Amino acid sequence: MSKTLNKIAEELRDANKKVQLIYAFNGTGKTRLSRELKDLISPKDVETEADYQSKVLYYNAFTEDLFYWNNDLDNDLDRKLVIQSNGYTKWVLQDQGQEPNITAHFQRYTNDKLTPNFNVEFSEVRFSFERGDDSASEYVKISKGEESCFIWSIFYSLLEQAISTLNISEENERDTEQFNHLEYVFIDDPVSSLDDTHLIELAVNIAALIRSSESSLKFVITTHNPLFYNVLYNEFNKADKKRLEKFEDGTFSLLSQPDDSPFSYHLYLLNELDRVIESGEIQKYHFNFLRNILEKTSTFLGYAKWQELLPEETEGARDAYYRRIINLSSHSYHHGEEVSVMQESDKRVLGFLVNTIKETYRFELNS
């Protein structure tokens, strides 16, 4: 049943689970969902800078918007990341002195020589490769992925402190009152530009940190990355695992992800193809799904070209299937662009290819 994002947020709140793990494609509404949950649990008439002191601590696109680059276009020498004035980073950096922890986390996922250098006011940060001596280091502009790692490291350091503080059951024994009302942590795609090895490490570290939480703090994690989702899926045996889907009318659905198998994007696409083949609701973009599956499978099996996976029951059949997939998939990249009706012959070809690929490579799908 379709719902508004507000209703989805209510569902997350009412689930009363320690960890809720949600997969969603980019553009589905993960960031908006984090805001809906925040406004639902900790409503405010006027937005203030003290979000980190509320009942919800969140990491999403709004967190990254607090930072922007000054590239020194005139001299091309003093490139620095500017931190917009806000209570969140001021409290983490100035009041709590988390700079060493932030640097350690940042270097763990990037380079142990790449060092952030904050100014006195903690309003700017420059990056350099430290050589281990007193020689001057040139400031460099880091990549977008490294920038995301840096911003995540600030949040992660804050989250570490929040969890360790709330693990002290007696409020009067805690070294800060800032987290006393904290109820939820919402994490939306922490770092999207990491290589697979560091992405797995990041997911494992998040899971370990969350498992260390002994308080009633609850966590909602959303991601569009199948690998990140899979690692967390396996790390959290008892987590509530779901998939967020958006419909063309702007409504949403939060579906349970079966506990008997981890989520894999290509398996999800195959299940979706099975569904539309059964119902006859095949559109051109479903050939994109098939091509995606073939590309991933060919890479895994070591084939140089994905068309080598196509059947060739007669001479030239493989090339014919290849041309048809290329023609149909290259002319419809998005659901919203699909306006034409599929020919029955194309529907039959899609059904034949999907069934042949499933049988040949023995895909195990959810019934």
Q: Where are the alpha helices (DSSP H) in the chain?
A: 5-15, 30-41, 61-64, 87-89, 99-109, 144-166, 196-211, 226-235, 265-279, 286-301, 317-329, 344-361
Let me know whether 80 and 192 are in one domain: yes
Q: Which of 21, 24, 9, 30 is nearest to 258 (CA)?
A: 21
**CATH code for the domain in which residue 207 is found:** 3.40.50.300
The two tokens of residue 60 are 């999403």
* DSSP H or E run through 219: strand 218-223
Q: How confident is the model at residue 258 (pLDDT cuts 50, 70, 90)?
A: low
DSSP string, 274-289: HHHHHHT---TTHHHH
Q: Which of 189, 152, 218 is nearest to 9 (CA)?
A: 218
pLDDT, residue 336, reads: 42
pLDDT digits (tens, 9 = 90+) for 145-191: 899 999 999 999 999 999 999 999 999 999 988 899 999 999 998 87
* Residue at 275 is within a domain: yes
pLDDT, residue 367, reads: 55
Q: Which of 97, 91, 141 is nearest to 116 (CA)?
A: 141
Let me know whether 28 and 106 are in one domain: yes
Q: How many domains does the chain have?
A: 2
* Residue at 199 is within a domain: yes
* Residue at 98 is within a domain: yes
Q: Domain range holding 102?
A: 5-256
Let me know whether 185 and 313 are in one domain: no
Average pLDDT, integer, range 310-327: 81
pLDDT, residue 247, reads: 85
* DSSP H or E run through 128: strand 124-129
Let me know whether 24 and 133 are in one domain: yes
Calpha distance 173→246 (Å, rounded) = 45
Q: Return the bridge partners of 188, or none.
A: 222
